[in-house]
Amino acid sequence: MNFEIEKLSLAQAVQVSADALLVLWPSATLPKPLAHDPVSRWVATAIEQGDFELKAGAVLTLYSQSGIAPRHLLVACTGDNQASQIRSAVLAAWGAIKASKIKRLSLHLVGDAAPQGVLLALSSLAEASYSYTTTLSKPKPRTLKHVQVSTESASPSVTQAVAQAQALVAGVELAKEWANRPANHATPTHLAQVAKSVASGRAFKCEVLGPKEVAKLGMGAFLAVAQGSAEPLRFIVMRYNGAAASQAPVVLVGKGITFDTGGISIKPAAEMDEMKYDMGGAASVLGVFKALGELRPAINVVGLIPATENMPDGLAVKPGDVVTSMSGQTIEILNTDAEGRLVLCDALTYAERFKPQAVIDIATLTGACVIALGAVRTGLFSSDDALALQLQNAGEASGDTCWRMPLDDDYADALKSRFADVANVGGRAAGAVTAAKFLQRFASRFAWAHLDIAGTAWRSGAAKGATGRPVGLLLQYLMRLAQSPVATASKTKKTVTPAQATPAKALLVRKA
């Protein structure tokens, strides 16, 4: 998809040739009944007749009107322009025209269009018109190729937002593509190839390690998960260098379980197919790197992906086995289905060598997080309040939201083992928190955050498919960091008290 921006009044926008014109109209802008442009007059009449309300998500449609170049005209209300309202307005409007073959769409934002609003409108349009086709024998390719954006005032920051939207969409769609692919079309080897091709630009380096190198590094936890699989593991290291080498990088670590059967602690059959999505964290890291390559912000970012299947086998790791992680800590594997934390803990130890300013891991880690937060917000755990706040704010701004969860040390009691330094599972209680407490043991040397995307990385049921989350959140965080590197998270570790773990500060910043 290709986006273009122009400064136009609504009266001019109706003359732009396209298959459809979508006008995004905030509640606060009342249409003038005697306005110059026909759209304002129709909206005014529809409101007067009680047929249309300026309420978020309301859509007014017209077809083949004189004085309007596109054959479809849609007016969708964006309420007070909150991220979720812009998204639902765009999705509702697209629903009304998706049966038509829309190739060119003209998108007009009424009023003072904020750059963030433009970004959200474009990414929502891409989301609405996306469909997965790779493994279909007769794919119906997406018709929407071009979006012409217009606003009444086109500031440089709006132009910048369009560029960011273009890169964001490319990143989100790469993440969706690879998460949606069945596990036999998305092996660890395939993921490494994707990383190599994403990294083929100048500002990138990409290194791929195999079983031998990983064994040499002493990644005993990662190896234990991989030992039951016929597909060889891959450890992917991507480096984007947009700033001086002296600037400490942000490290992103993505869980890359290309299929999670549970191993010997095997999962039930129902919905097990969805465990092809267990590399959603890895897909989001690939997506972020795709976007970084297009935007080239002044920042250094490292991407780490431990990729493997989790399979039952004669050689597979067994419940009760004790392994030694790269950190030297021994782990009693009480449940082989808690494999995500095992591959991540070694990647976190590996991250130390980059002397990072922050490390963020992204993982479809626990069913318990789905129970806690559902499909709306990603679970955020962090040992660093400044980093947590930046991620919360990036979530609110991008509409790719998260919610901070606690890390009290008392939760770690559940992980006590008689046979190793730590067990890989606690009980059923607070399963998302105990998983994070496990990871925290391997993240004491840097500011660290963990995003549990088990509920948000894909949708189940009729609309089954990857969401591309949290590429939006991460890209927003990184772009802000590139603009104001002084605001980086502190390197010193801070203790988190439950009082600090409330998102009150995030809400304050958002309203300011």
What residues make contact with Zn ion under the rule CB under 5 A? 257, 260, 278, 340
Site for ligand BES, residues 386 to 425, rule: CB under 6 A: 425
User: Applying CB under 6 A, which of residues 278, 309, 332, 385 lies at the interface with ligand BES?
Assistant: 278
Site for ligand BES, residues 14 to 73, rule: CB under 6 A: none
Q: Which residues contact 348 (CB under 8 A, 6 or more apart)?
A: 253, 359, 361, 439, 442, 443, 448
CB nearer Mn ion, residue 77 or residue 257: 257
The answer to the question of residue 452 lying near Mn ion (CB under 5 A) is no
Cα end-to-end distance, the chain, whole Å: 34
Residue nearest to Mn ion (CB): 337
**Catalytic-labelled residue, pool 341, 437, 441, 469:** 341
Q: Rounded CA gap, 287 and 130, in Å?
A: 15
Least distance from Mn ion to the Cβ atom of residue 260, Å? 4
**Among Mn ion, Zn ion, ligand BES, none, partner that 370 touches (CB below 5 to 8 angstroms by kind):** ligand BES
Side chain identity at residue 466, one-letter code? A
Q: Rounded CA gap, 121 and 162, in Å?
A: 10
CB neighbourhood size of 266 (10 A): 15
Least distance from Zn ion to the Cβ atom of residue 446, Å? 24
Site for ligand BES, residues 292 to 351, rule: CB under 6 A: 335, 337-340
Least distance from ligand BES to the Cβ atom of residue 281, Å? 10
The answer to the question of residue 90 lying near ligand BES (CB under 6 A) is no
User: Applying CB under 6 A, which of residues 366, 392, 440, 488 lies at the interface with ligand BES?
Assistant: 366
Q: 3-state DSSP call for residue 30?
A: coil
Q: Give the start-end residues of each E strand in 326-401.
A: 330-333, 358-363, 378-382
Max distance between CA atoms of the chain, in angstroms, equals 80
DSSP string, 292-323: HHHH--S-EEEEEEEEEEE---TTS--TTEEE
Q: Which of 93, 47, 87, 149 is nearest to 376 (CA)?
A: 87
Q: What letter does residue 9 receive in the DSSP assignment? A: -
Q: Which of 374, 399, 403, 405 is nearest to 475 (CA)?
A: 399
Q: Rounded CA gap, 433 and 454, in Å?
A: 13
CB nearer Mn ion, residue 168 or residue 333: 333
**Catalytic-labelled residue, pool 267, 459, 491, 494:** 267
**Among Mn ion, ligand BES, Zn ion, none, partner that 220 touches (CB below 5 to 8 angstroms by kind):** none
For 200, half-sphere exposure in the C-beta direction (CA atoms, 13 angstrom radius) is: 6
The answer to the question of residue 236 lying near ligand BES (CB under 6 A) is no
Least distance from ligand BES to the Cβ atom of residue 411, Å? 13
Site for ligand BES, residues 437 to 476, rule: CB under 6 A: 454
Q: Which of 397, 215, 230, 436 is nearest to 324 (CA)?
A: 215
Number of residues in contact with ligand BES, rule: CB under 6 A?
Answer: 16
Q: Rounded CA gap, 179 and 485, in Å?
A: 32
Least distance from Mn ion to the Cβ atom of residue 359, Å? 22
- Assigned token pair, 34: 């005697």
Least distance from Zn ion to the Cβ atom of residue 425, Å? 12
Least distance from ligand BES to the Cβ atom of residue 94, Å? 28
- Single out the segment in contact with Mn ion by CB under 5 A; choices: 46-54, 146-154, 205-213, 260-268: 260-268
Query: Which residue blocks in 352-470 are alpha helix, DSSP H?
Result: 367-373, 385-398, 431-440
CB nearer ligand BES, residue 167 or residue 370: 370
Assess whether 267 carries a catalytic annotation: yes
Interface residues with ligand BES (CB under 6 A) are: 260, 278, 335, 337-340, 364-368, 370, 425, 431, 454
Q: Which residues are catalytic?
A: 267, 341
Interface residues with Mn ion (CB under 5 A) are: 260, 337, 339
